[in-house]
Amino acid sequence: MRIFLDTADIEEIREVARWGILSGVTTNPTLMSRTSGMSHEDVIKHIADLVDGPISAETISLDADGMLDEGRRFAKWHPNVVIKVPSIPAGWEAVSRFKKEGIRTNVTLCFSANQALFAALAGAYIISPFLGRLDDISEDGMQLVRDIVDIYRIHEMETLVLAASIRHPLHIIEAAKAGADIATVPYKVLEAATKHPLTDKGIDSFLKDWEKFQGSQRQPAAVAG
């Protein structure tokens, strides 16, 4: 399973890109609204300089022609740009038209296996089930991820399953076990997932023991007898 960062924050992306684990980035209008001073184009181009992988840029039109206009413009910014459209009939229409033009799509706001099936039939590159938002309303978000993975495997569909709306580190593990191709993770969740108290405790005691060892090397050897 590949890890994407779910953010438009350049500093967060710069840091995680250094870790060597980052394969792509997803953005959306909410994440863009948290950036300041840069245009949509500048943010996406800046991300493309930092990460060599798919970068999702979201359209806001609700009709296929509008999505096509926006998406064609975004696709010119960088070859790694993937166009995000919502899970509605106009979105699937846009996906099928983008595909004919060789433009990759990420169908977002997916909350049902039927929506995922239709996105794959239309030719989506990525489907994004929002598992955290389903958990928020007492539905089982991870079960949706499992169902989509099963359906795509049974019917040999090539669309990649991207677990989105990840809320905590266990979601990453569960998405990997469910067979998701990608998990897109907010920086805070990814940072929390890096930590383990036993790792910190182990480093601390190794450093103290190394100091002891260095000290013993500086003492003259005791003369026996």
Q: What is the CA radius of gyration of the chain?
A: 22
* Least distance CB 142 / ligand G3P (angstroms): 14
DSSP classification of residue 182? E
DSSP classification of residue 87? S
* Least distance CB 198 / ligand G3P (angstroms): 29
Q: Which residues contact 16 (CB under 8 A, 6 or more apart)?
A: 5, 22, 187, 190
15 residue type, one letter:
E
Q: Which of 71, 86, 74, 70 is nearest to 47 (CA)?
A: 74
The residues binding ligand G3P (CB under 6 A) are 6, 26, 28, 130, 132-133, 164-165, 184
**Considering beta carbons, is residue 64 or 131 the nearer one to ligand G3P?**
131
**Considering beta carbons, is residue 17 or 164 the nearer one to ligand G3P?**
164
* Least distance CB 155 / ligand G3P (angstroms): 25
Q: How far is it, in rounded angstroms, from Cα 161 to Cα 164?
A: 9
Instruction: Count the neighbouring beta carbons within 10 Å of the beta carbon of residue 3.
Output: 19
* Least distance CB 188 / ligand G3P (angstroms): 11
166 residue type, one letter:
I
Residue nearest to ligand G3P (CB): 165
**Considering beta carbons, is residue 56 or 123 the nearer one to ligand G3P?**
56
Q: Which of 117, 120, 79 is nearest to 96 (CA)?
A: 120
Task: List active site positions.
Answer: 84
**Considering beta carbons, is residue 33 or 217 the nearer one to ligand G3P?**
33
